[in-house]
Chain A
């Protein structure tokens, strides 16, 4: 692992408190480091600085020096260098720290500035909080509590602006609530590279609109909803579904592709309401694709595999009989967690079975969707389930045709979608573990209903060989069993040693059995992931192209 170069530090004084911050930091971030919040709307750490909301005003001073001699001017009384305070407030977001800089974030002038900005922002703001989806996570509400007047001195008619505008298939806009911070505009320009939003009209008539004839329909449109500090941009899917203060937040990883976007799953009483990105500066910054946000719908999908009513012991007995018949092939999955892949590999070793993993590729978008649509291909390599980049199941098909395979264990993979014909499926007995019904589960002799990624805990290894963990957000479907438990039962049923199927036990085995994971436990994986050494697989060619924070190795050497 290469350590990043130590940044050059600059010493500044925030409200008298001395702190060394990296060069280039702005005052808002520097204040954050001493635990002081400088309220702001337009500033966003991952976007350019616009400096238009004026909420972040602070007082700024520099140590005084004599203009002619450059000698420091000392204060007789304190014996310290005098501070030259700028008489007017400055914006914190647009001010980069300089050595010796002094900042006041709590002075009377700063407080008055904030109150003034708030009063102007609230002049035309609608009384919508009871029906506004942002309530509870609204910056304007928060700052109104801190710096609001509590009543309005504005006796004229409030402005009216379009409410309920459809900006795109997934985003609804309420212009009256917009505080004109331009975060959404900068996002579409700078990150999504789909410059469709802009302001029209002037002054208090300024209105956010979409370019005529266009829509905000790129696959990153919902990030504008996340970064909108108020309830102007709302998610059409989440609109009016639930108040955010009821929702429980669980850290998760998006299974959409090998990028491994860090997410937060928001649920209440076992029902998931939305998925939002979680900041990870090494992986997804603060963004995620729209397509990954709807994946929670698979938890309550129509085609969810329901328990058949047969006792679990019967299922296990039938499966065991099939597996003990020999000539078994195991189809693992790049969608399974690292722990499940490890148990899959263990089962295959116990059965002396050949292992396969289905490759799943699509076009990468160069941002946060990669070409490899398996979230955990690297996991299959690390656990030794496979040693090559996975492709299709042609080899398995040939072995079935040759009669060398009689039973196939599939861990959540639809074999017909992966290229096996119905005749080939008919020739073998199938043991299927999966969460949703498909052609393979229909053809299978034994079906174990298992859990979706939102109902179980585990870890994935993304395209950077970063080990990242996800936790179960909602309880599993009644009657469905955790994949880990089923795999462990199968291992034991065919004569293998079980060390337990819980995360702690599986990780004990993982740490003991896999050199790259020595000394690790599930609990030790940091929230932002852990980069693993990837030298063993540097010869392989992976399908991923370049994306945010990822340069494929091959591209690196040629570049």
Chain B
């Protein structure tokens, strides 16, 4: 086995005093002391979530407060880990949105199963389910980790609507065929 002896360069005087090195270190320290924080005091402080982030799936209402989900169960069908459970129901005839006919009676998303894939949002024909900015969920029991319909609407809130499909439908129904 052969090895090579490397000649170590002798230290200069300044180097031997350590002073320039200490000053150099202190410079970095003082610079960081006055610079704004790069980290967040999580969980008290929370990051801003960029648009399009795929957080916890939620159900949303339109700006008129109508629940957008019509319980078509496409999301339940497409969800790869079968996290979604829906019990469809009929909207009572005296409800202002009775013309929509159908809405979920129960809507559960099991967040222990959800893989945040976003396929439910992708498939929804009513733009009713959105993966929004909630990214952290915790609970003490398995049951707590299942978001029910009330929780989903609480998390979802209201989103702008581009179509007002059902409002237009109702207006057309009220206008009748007179326009023809």
Please list the residues of chain A having a beta carbon within 8 angstroms of any beta carbon in chain B: 126-127, 129-131, 135, 156-160, 163-164, 205, 239-243, 245-246
The CA-CA distance from A247 to B70 in the complex, in Å, is 19
Instruction: Pick the contact of B74: A130, A156, A163, A241 (CB < 8 A).
Output: A130
Q: Is the CB of B89 within 8 A of A240?
A: yes
B-side contacts of A159, CB under 8 Å: 177, 180
The CA-CA distance from A131 to B126 in the complex, in Å, is 10
Q: Is the CB of B73 within 8 A of A243?
A: yes
A-side contacts of B55, CB under 8 Å: none
The CA-CA distance from A517 to B102 in the complex, in Å, is 51
The CA-CA distance from A505 to B180 in the complex, in Å, is 70
Q: Is the CB of A240 within 8 A of B73?
A: no
Instruction: Pick the contact of A129: B88, B125, B172 (CB < 8 A).
Output: B125
Closest CB of chain A to B158's CB: distance in Å? 20
B-side contacts of A163, CB under 8 Å: 99, 101, 173
Given the contacts A131-B101, A164-B101, A158 and B172 also touching, CB distance less than 8 Å: yes
Please list the residues of chain B having a beta carbon within 8 angstroms of any beta carbon in chain A: 70-74, 76-77, 88-90, 99-102, 125-126, 165, 169, 172-173, 175-177, 179-180
Considering only CB atoms, which chain B residue lies closest to A158 in the complex?
Answer: B172
Considering only CB atoms, which chain A residue lies closest to B105 in the complex?
Answer: A240
Closest CB of chain B to A537's CB: distance in Å? 49
Q: Is the CB of A243 within 8 A of B72?
A: yes
Q: Is the CB of A130 within 8 A of B125?
A: yes
The CA-CA distance from A44 to B173 in the complex, in Å, is 33
The CA-CA distance from A245 to B100 in the complex, in Å, is 22
The CA-CA distance from A130 to B71 in the complex, in Å, is 8
Closest CB of chain A to B133's CB: distance in Å? 26
Q: Is the CB of A240 within 8 A of B172?
A: no
Give the total number of A-B pairs whose CB atoms are below 8 A apart. 52
Given the contacts A240-B90, A242-B88, A131 and B176 also touching, CB distance less than 8 Å: no
Considering only CB atoms, which chain B residue lies closest to A162 in the complex?
Answer: B173
Instruction: Pick the contact of B73: A156, A160, A164, A246 (CB < 8 A).
Output: A246
Closest CB of chain A to B168's CB: distance in Å? 10
The CA-CA distance from A158 to B168 in the complex, in Å, is 11
B-side contacts of A240, CB under 8 Å: 71, 88-90, 101-102
The CA-CA distance from A361 to B25 in the complex, in Å, is 102
Given contacts A131-B102, A159-B177, A246-B76, list 14 more A-B pairs with CB under 8 A.
Answer: A130-B102, A131-B70, A131-B72, A156-B180, A157-B179, A158-B172, A160-B177, A163-B173, A205-B177, A239-B90, A240-B71, A240-B88, A241-B88, A246-B73
Closest CB of chain A to B180's CB: distance in Å? 7
Considering only CB atoms, which chain B residue lies closest to A131 in the complex?
Answer: B102
A-side contacts of B173, CB under 8 Å: 160, 163
The CA-CA distance from A156 to B71 in the complex, in Å, is 29
The CA-CA distance from A242 to B172 in the complex, in Å, is 29
The CA-CA distance from A156 to B177 in the complex, in Å, is 11
Closest CB of chain A to B162's CB: distance in Å? 14
Q: Is the CB of B125 within 8 A of A160?
A: no
A-side contacts of B76, CB under 8 Å: 246
Q: Is the CB of A130 within 8 A of B126?
A: yes
Q: Is the CB of A127 within 8 A of B88?
A: no
Instruction: Pick the contact of A127: B71, B102, B165, B180 (CB < 8 A).
Output: B165
Q: 7 A-B residue contacts at CB 8 Å? A: A131-B102, A156-B180, A157-B175, A160-B172, A164-B101, A242-B88, A246-B76
The CA-CA distance from A74 to B90 in the complex, in Å, is 66
A-side contacts of B72, CB under 8 Å: 129-131, 135, 243
B-side contacts of A158, CB under 8 Å: 172
A-side contacts of B100, CB under 8 Å: 131
Instruction: Pick the contact of B180: A126, A157, A245 (CB < 8 A).
Output: A157
The CA-CA distance from A127 to B169 in the complex, in Å, is 10
The CA-CA distance from A234 to B98 in the complex, in Å, is 18
Considering only CB atoms, which chain A residue lies closest to B100 in the complex?
Answer: A131
The CA-CA distance from A246 to B176 in the complex, in Å, is 36
A-side contacts of B169, CB under 8 Å: 126
The CA-CA distance from A164 to B100 in the complex, in Å, is 11
Closest CB of chain B to A45's CB: distance in Å? 31
Instruction: Pick the contact of B176: A129, A130, A160, A241 (CB < 8 A).
Output: A160
Instruction: Pick the contact of B77: A129, A131, A156, A243 (CB < 8 A).
Output: A243
Closest CB of chain A to B85's CB: distance in Å? 10
Interface centre among A127, A130, A245 (most CB of B within 10 A): A130
The CA-CA distance from A102 to B126 in the complex, in Å, is 47
Q: Is the CB of A157 within 8 A of B88?
A: no
Closest CB of chain A to B163's CB: distance in Å? 10
Q: Can you list the 5 inter-chain pairs with the closest CB atoms, starting with the nearest?
A: A130-B72, A131-B102, A243-B73, A130-B125, A131-B70
Considering only CB atoms, which chain A residue lies closest to B72 in the complex?
Answer: A130
The CA-CA distance from A245 to B180 in the complex, in Å, is 38
The CA-CA distance from A448 to B126 in the complex, in Å, is 50
The CA-CA distance from A322 to B60 in the complex, in Å, is 65
Q: Is the CB of A246 within 8 A of B77?
A: yes
The CA-CA distance from A361 to B90 in the complex, in Å, is 39
Considering only CB atoms, which chain A residue lies closest to B90 in the complex?
Answer: A240
Closest CB of chain B to A227's CB: distance in Å? 23
A-side contacts of B88, CB under 8 Å: 240-243
B-side contacts of A246, CB under 8 Å: 73, 76-77
